[in-house]
A and B are shown apart, each in its own frame.
Chain A
Amino acid sequence: MFAYIVRRLAWMVVVLWGVLTITFFVARVIPADPVGAILGPQAPPEAIEAEKARWGLDKPIYVQYIRYLAGLAQGDLGVSLRTRRPVLQDIKQFFPATVELALAALLIGLIMGIGLGVISAVRSGQVVDHAARVFAIVGLSMPAFWLGLLLLLVFYYSLGWLPGPGQLPYWLPRPPRVTGFMFLDSLIAGDWTAFGSYLKHLIMPAFTLGWLSTASITRITRSSMLEVLREEYVKTARMKGLRETSVVMKHAFKNALLPVVTIIGIRLASLLEGAVLTETVFAWPGLGRYATHAFLSIDFNAVVGVALFMALLYSGSNLVVDILYAYLNPKIRYV
C-alpha cells in the first residue's frame, strides 16, 4: 500500500510537470500579444519593448521556461500581468470563495442525488423512477450559465426573494478577512447580518452547480441500491417481517453508500469546471472567475498558475479517491 502511494505521488509530479509544460508553451508561443493588449494600440514601440523586457519576454523561450521552473521550485508562480500581484497571492485570495461554493453545491447535489437515487431504486421501473431520472438528466443538460440567469431572473429580478450577484451587498461592511472563507470569517467576527446575507447569496449559485452533480450521484446511488436490494440479507430482513422503510434505510442504504462516497472526489473536477461558468454569472469572487479573466486577457503567468493549481486539485482528488477505494475494498490491490 505504501509503495503504491509513493509511486502514485511520483507519477502525479510527472503529470503536473506535463500540464505545466503544455500550458507554459501554449500561453507563450501564441499569436496574441498580451503586452500590446495591456498597453493599448497607441503605445510607442519602445514602451512595448521595455515592458517586454520587464516581463522577461525578450529572452528566448527556453530561457523563460527555465526561469519559470526555477521560480516554481521556490514556490513562485510569477506576477500576474493584469492584477500586478503574485499569482500565488491571487490564488490564495480567490480560492476560498470557490471552495465554499463547491462544497455547498456538493451538499445540495448529494441530498438531491441520494434522495432521488434511493427512490428510483425502490420504485424501479415505475413512474417515480422515470421522473427522478428525467429530473437528474435535465440538470445535467442545463447550461450552468443559463440556469443561473434564469434563477436570477425569477428569484431576484421578478420575485425579489433572493439577493442578486456577489457574496454580500455592496453597502454591507465586510467582516475582517481571517481565513478568507466568508462563511467562517463572518462567524469569527460574530457578524450575523453578514453571515445571513452571505448564506442567502450562496443559495442560487450553489443550487445551479449542485443540480449539475445530481445526475451522476443519482445514477450511482440507484445502481448501487438496486444491487444491494437483491442481496440475500435484504430478502432475509424482509422475510423477518421488518417494515419496508426499515429494510431500505437500515439494511440496504448503508451498504449501498460506498460507491457514492467515491464519486465525491470525481465530482470535484466537474464542480471546478462548473464554477468557472457559475461564478461568471453570479459575479462570485472565486478562482473560476479569476481564471476566465486571466485567460481572456492572456495573462500568461496567471494562466499557467491557475491551470497548474487546478490540475493539482484534480489529480490530488483522484489520488485520494483511489487510495480510499483500495483501503475500503481490500479486493483491489494495485501491485
Chain B
Amino acid sequence: MRGLTWRDVWRQIIRNPLSITGLVIIVTLVLVAILAPYIAPHDPFATDPINKLAPPSSAHLMGTDGLGRDILSRVLYGTRISLWIAVLILLTAGVVGTAVGILAGYVGGFGDNLLMRITDIFMAFPRLILAMAIAAALGPSLTNVVIAISFSAWTVFARLARSRAIAVREEDYVEAARAVGASGFRIIVRHILPMAISPVIIQGTISMGGIILTAAGLGFLGFGAQPPTPEWGVMVSEGRNFMPHGWWVSTFPGLAIMVTVLGFNLLGDGIRDILDPRMR
C-alpha cells in the first residue's frame, strides 16, 4: 500500500477493462437497490393463484414462482437485501476487526499476543461452518445472518490493521505525539487509524463477493432469511421444488447472485493486481 494514493488506484482501475466492468456492475446494482420500488413491475409479495409457475413472458419477464409472485420484482427487491446485509457485515466486521487489530499492534507484548491468539482460534473455523453454527444457535433471521457472518469475517481485518499499526507505531510523528503528552486513545484515533483505514477499505472490497456468497448460502440452506423474504438464496432454494419444469424459479435469483458477486470479484481482482506489482 505504501506510496500508493487513492488517485493511483483509481487510475489503475479505469485502465483495466475487467475492473471497469466490475465497477459498472456494482454501480448499476446500487441504483437498482435504491430504485427497486419504482422499477419493479409488480409487488414482490403479491401472490396470484391463477398465474402460478408461469414461464417467462412479456407480462412476467422472469416468470412467476409457485405462489404466482413475479420473480423479476422479487429479484429487484432482493438486490436491496443482499447489498444491505453485505454492507452491514462489512461495517461490523471491519470496525471490530480494525479495533482489535490496532489495539493489538499498538499495545504490543502480552496484549498483542492474547488478541492475536484469539484471532487464530476464530480463523481455525472454516468460515461457513462458524457462520452456520452461530446462525443456527441464534435462530434463522437476517439480523442473525449479519451477526453470524461478522463473527467469521472480522479476523482478516484484525490482521491487516495490526500490521499497519505495528508499521506506524515507531514512526517519528507518533513518537512526537507521545512526547507532547497525547493519550494512547488520541494517538490511536488521530495517528494510527488514518494509516490503517485504506488497506481495510480495500480488503473490504475484495471480501465483499465472498460475504454475499456466504449470506446467500446461509439463506439457501435455511439458516438465513425466511420465506416470504425475497432473498436470493431463499428464492433459489424455493425453486428446487419446481425442478425441472419451473426452471426459471431458481435460475434467475441465482443469476442475480452470480452477477453481483462477479462485479465485486472483478473489481477486487483488479485492485489486487495494483497491490501486487508482480501481476502486472
Q: Which chain A residues have a beta carbon within 8 Å of chain B's beta carbons?
A: 11, 14-16, 18-19, 22-23, 26-27, 30-32, 130, 133-134, 137-138, 140-146, 149-150, 152-153, 157-158, 222-223, 226-227, 269-270, 272-273, 276-277, 280, 291-292, 295-296, 298, 303, 306-307, 310-311, 314-315
Contact = CB atoms under 8 A, between A and B. Distances in A.
B129 A307 contact: yes
Nearest to A144: B217
Given A133-B269, A158-B244, A226-B278, A146 B254 contact: yes
A18 B133 contact: no
A272 B126 contact: yes
Per DSSP, chain A at the interface is helix
27 contacts: A18-B124, A19-B124, A26-B133, A30-B137, A31-B137, A31-B139, A130-B18, A137-B269, A138-B262, A140-B261, A141-B258, A143-B213, A143-B254, A145-B217, A145-B237, A146-B254, A152-B243, A223-B278, A226-B278, A272-B129, A273-B128, A276-B221, A277-B128, A295-B132, A295-B223, A298-B137, A303-B133
Given A143-B257, A295-B223, A296-B222, A314 B265 contact: no
B105 to A, nearest CB: 20
A143 B120 contact: no
A227 B124 CA distance: 31
Contacts of B220: 143, 145, 277, 280
A314 B127 CA distance: 11
Interface in B239-267: 239-240, 243-244, 247, 250-251, 254-255, 257-258, 261-262, 265-266
Contacts of A277: 128, 217, 220-221
Contacts of B126: 269-270, 272-273, 310-311, 314
B170 to A, nearest CB: 22
A16 B124 contact: yes
Nearest to A280: B221
Contact of A143 (B121, B233, B278): B233
A144 to B, nearest CB: 8
B117 interface: yes
Nearest to B272: A219
Given A146-B236, A277-B220, A311-B126, 7 more contacts: A141-B213, A143-B216, A153-B247, A223-B278, A292-B132, A295-B136, A310-B129
A223 B279 CA distance: 6
Interface in B136-156: 136-139
Interface string B200-225: 00000000010001001100111100
A98 B71 CA distance: 34
A296 B217 CA distance: 14
B129 to A, nearest CB: 5
A141 B254 CA distance: 11
Contact of A307 (B133, B257, B269): B133
Contacts of A226: 278-279
Given A14-B117, A310-B129, A141 B209 contact: yes
Contacts of B125: 19, 307, 310-311, 314
Nearest to B240: A149
Given A137-B269, A307-B125, A143 B133 contact: no
A15 B134 CA distance: 18
Contacts of A149: 236, 239-240, 243, 250-251, 254
A296 B223 contact: yes
Contacts of A152: 243-244
Contacts of B209: 140-141
B85 to A, nearest CB: 15
A75 B278 CA distance: 48
